Amino acid sequence: MDMPSSAPVGGLIDRSVADSGLSRAEVLLDHPKYLHHAGSPWFLALTALGVVFGDIGTSPLYAFQVALIGVGHAPAAADVLGIVSLILWALTMMVSLKYVIFVLRADNDGEGGILALLSLVAADKVADGARLPALVLLGVVGASLLYGDGVITPAISVLSAMEGLKLIAPDFEHFIVPATIAVLVGLFVIQKYGTGSIGRLFGPIMVAWFVVLGGLGLSNIWMAPAILRAVNPLEAVHFLVNDPRISFVVIGAVFLALTGGEALYADMGHVGASAIRRAWFGLVLPALLLNYFGQGALILSDPAAADNPFYKLAPGWALIPMLVLATCATIIASQALVSGVFSLTRQAMQMGLCPRARIVSTSADEAGQIYVPAANWLLMAGTLFTVVLFRSSDSLAAAYGIAVSGTMLITTILLYRVAVSRWQWPPGVAIPIIAIFGAIDAVFLVSNSIKITEGGWFPLIVGAVIALLMLSWRKGSSEVSNKLHEMSMPLKEFLGYADQRCIGRAPGMGVWLTKVEHGASPMLLRHIEHNRVLHATVVLLTFVSDRRPRVPFHERHSVHRLGHGFYRIQVRLGFMQTPDIPLTLINCNKLGFDADLDHKNYYIAHETIVRREDGSAMEPVTFAVFSFLNRIASRAPDFFKIPQDAIIEVGFRVEI
């Protein structure tokens, strides 16, 4: 039911909690519009600064410096003007126009990110194991590269901040890597406490960061106003055509100024598109441009500052405060990326691309604030390994660009489908616009690809491993599901079979968690065959994935009375929702499912999955990967929040 826009959101939600008897989290999930847009517009913009812009906001630490290194010689004035002009127009075209104006319109019920985009254009095919549509493959590759980005971003961000130590005292250079490792370990250790308690600090710190960025840049522009010539795009054109070999290398470094653009879309669900646009155009973009122009002005007046132009923007007395502020900003940038990986993992689980993992909610009010322990520790291990392997932000920059540029290109391709099918753009309009963005993305990708031997191989290997895991899990899960349906019995036949085979019905309720949607699962058949006893009330409970991020409460539950004490309950969940069986039963009880919830047992399957020697649909390597993932997946009781003292496991063999 739509609510009056003038009513305070908090009061409406509180009244809904009181009226329905549901938990506050359940009511919030039924009001995603208000969940994403609660609070004043300017408060949401402040929140966006802390949650969304950390990654792109810390790019000035290293992007311009790496671009100068790509020139290969002492930068001349034309080189500096060309690089700054390239950064200006890249930010304008690929972040302001592509992402902030166009991509943010492609929201899936308020949620963003490449898997949400994939769900928007091809969700009905994600769970179909019969074939792998090209769009699904693109989405899996893009998500895999984002995981690679998740390993690299914290490493390069914190490393680049810690490198300010050698400007304070050259002897501190040996402490850069240990200090980076210490900061990153602390970052991952505190993840279990959630971002809620420290989230209020993020926005003000990032406001201070962007104000300082703009102030330092403006003060240096004043000293060398000739840098303002870089506003003319012809300066970028002259640089590109003057020496195509050098400019091609520099383009890959200029791309580092755009990293974090994908995060604007991935984190849209936290604050909404309008807050991101307000913060971007109101503070972030002006501050970034002023800082890049300021760094360029510094090099025009002092070419020797090219070794670390960011920190040399500040006077000597301000180095230590700048180092502290930069460290805080990079931690925030890393935090936003880590939280994004948690959300991506939950989406992948619900879309059948990832095995079960324990999910911990860290906020009673914000459904998006979660903690995934397995993803956290794996991400920490990968990030620390990356720091030890590359040891400097310059070395890591080569590995950074290729993962992000690949994801951006895939987003552009998927965006075309949205523009034509969802926005009803005529192909004559959509093709030229998407072609321009795609051509620029492709140039960035190819430019970054020349650095594969210098470190670009790393995110490709990470992405390839993640993609193999996702595709193997998807294939194996589909084959298991198909086999279970073959082994099941139609419900009409099952009811008579149960009456004939069962010699008694015990008091209470038995809840059977099954993957079979339209029949009696082999788990239940095996139990009847061996024990010949069922509870007086038998519930066949199935969770079904929906392409939406959240399914409203009134659409979520489907209860069917089958007769003879049997019920079929289907629960439809979006890819941003987490199953909770006890809560599901309480909700069904409120909807008219009259059963004794005080005396119940939960039955889950313990499947022994083996590969058929002849005629298996899975290759040996794919099956081995799937089997490994199946063994390490979170136990069903933990994932579905089943009380440990009421579980009965029924084992049977599945050959695929």
470-480 pLDDT per residue, tens: 999 999 988 99
Question: Which position has the higher pLDDT, 503 or 232?
Answer: 232
Residue 11 has pLDDT above 50, yes or no: no
Which tens digits make up the pLDDT trace of 88-139? 999 999 999 999 999 998 887 777 788 888 877 764 444 444 445 677 788 8
- Give the per-residue pLDDT at 286: 97
DSSP states of 551-587 as a string? --HHHHEEEEEEETTEEEEEEEE-TT----HHHHHHH
- 357 contacts 372 by C-beta, under 8 angstroms: yes
**Could you tell me the pLDDT band of residue 20, with boundaries at 50, 70 and 90?**
very low
* Burial (CB count within 10 angstroms: exposed 0-12, middle 13-18, buried 19+), residue 491: middle
Q: How far apart are CA 511 and CA 498, in angstroms?
A: 16
**Strands 489-490 and 519-520, sheet pairing:** antiparallel
Q: How far apart are CA 121 and CA 123, in angstroms?
A: 6
User: 509: closest CA among 572, 588, 399, 608?
Assistant: 588
- Give the per-residue pLDDT at 26: 45
- For 288, half-sphere exposure in the C-beta direction (CA atoms, 13 angstrom radius) is 33
Strand partners, 514: none
Residue 323 has pLDDT above 90, yes or no: no
* Burial (CB count within 10 angstroms: exposed 0-12, middle 13-18, buried 19+), residue 426: exposed
Domain locations along the chain: 1-30, 31-450, 480-655
Cα end-to-end span (Å), the chain: 46
DSSP states of 465-486 as a string? HHHHHHHHHHHHHHHHHHHHHH
- Give the per-residue pLDDT at 129: 43
Residue 368 has pLDDT above 80, yes or no: no
In this prediction, residues 292-318 reach a mean pLDDT of 91
Question: Which position has the higher pLDDT, 182 or 368?
Answer: 182
CATH of domain 31-450: 1.20.1740.10
- 280 contacts 53 by C-beta, under 8 angstroms: yes
pTM: 0.79
**Could you tell me the pLDDT band of residue 175, with boundaries at 50, 70 and 90?**
confident
Which tens digits make up the pLDDT trace of 177-204? 999 999 999 888 888 776 555 556 678 8
In this prediction, residues 320-339 reach a mean pLDDT of 82
- Which string of b and e fits 77-112 if b means at least 16 CB within 10 Å? eebbbbbbbbbbbbbeebbbebbbebbbebbbbbbb
User: 254: closest CA among 265, 262, 242, 246?
Assistant: 246
User: Which range has the worst mean pLDDT, 150-154, 275-279, 282-286, 463-467?
Assistant: 150-154
Which tens digits make up the pLDDT trace of 572-591? 988 778 888 988 998 888 88
Question: Which position has the higher pLDDT, 46 or 538?
Answer: 538
In this prediction, residues 354-375 reach a mean pLDDT of 75
Residue 628 has pLDDT above 60, yes or no: yes
Q: How far apart are CA 62 and CA 326, in angstroms?
A: 12
Residue 294 has pLDDT above 90, yes or no: yes
In this prediction, residues 372-390 reach a mean pLDDT of 91
**Could you tell me the pLDDT band of residue 79, with boundaries at 50, 70 and 90?**
very high
**Could you tell me the pLDDT band of residue 7, with boundaries at 50, 70 and 90?**
very low
* Sign of the CA dihedral with 341 first, then 346, 348, and 349 last: positive
Secondary structure element (H or E) that encloses residue 181, with its range: helix 176-189
Which tens digits make up the pLDDT trace of 245-273? 888 889 988 998 998 888 788 777 767 78
